[in-house]
Amino acid sequence: MNSFNIRVYGICISERKEVLVTDELRFGKNMTKFPGGGLQWGEGPADCLKREFREELKCEIEIEKHFYTTDFFQPSAFHPESQLISIYYLVKRKSAFSVKTSGKKYDFKKTEGAQSFRWIKLLKIKENDFTFPVDKKVARMLRNQAE
């Protein structure tokens, strides 16, 4: 059955002009993406993103503005019968993260569901830093705006 999979992501840029990314192990695959997650029934995209940052980073955020929404057909990587729609917002931290960030990619014990966070310099961000096509496009857009 065809369906939609709506994901909401936050682009958090530090004072040092670095962007926050998450490294994860899901479905047996290492992946790098922007922090965020799936929209749940009954919540709007902004509420979804605030919930995801609370759950994953133990942090409150403020949504500054919409950055990008998928404008091409993209099947979900894990559920090919679902069309992926990704919404990206520029966000600002209202409180400090309660989880550590690392300078090392995949800085976690290799268990399903593992996750770590790290910063990438905005001027050095590349499409190949990311696993999924929509994140790659957003990385390119960020890099172009930073130059």
- Which DSSP letter does residue 48 get? H
What 3-state DSSP class applies to 114?
coil
What 3-state DSSP class applies to 82?
strand
Asked if pLDDT for residue 96 goes beyond 90, the answer is no
Asked if pLDDT for residue 98 goes beyond 90, the answer is no
The pTM of the full predicted model, rounded to 2 decimals, is: 0.94
Instruction: Look at strands 101-102 and 115-121 and give their pairing.
Output: parallel
Every domain of the chain and the residues it spans: 3-146
Residues 102-130: b if buried by 16+ CB within 10 A, e if exposed:
eeeebebeeeeeebbbbbbebeebeeebb
Which tokens belong to 99?
Answer: 């989880």
The answer regarding whether domain 3-146 maps to CATH 3.90.79.10 reads yes
Summarize pLDDT for 36-83 with one digit per residue, the tens.
Answer: 999 999 999 999 999 999 999 999 999 999 999 999 999 999 888 999
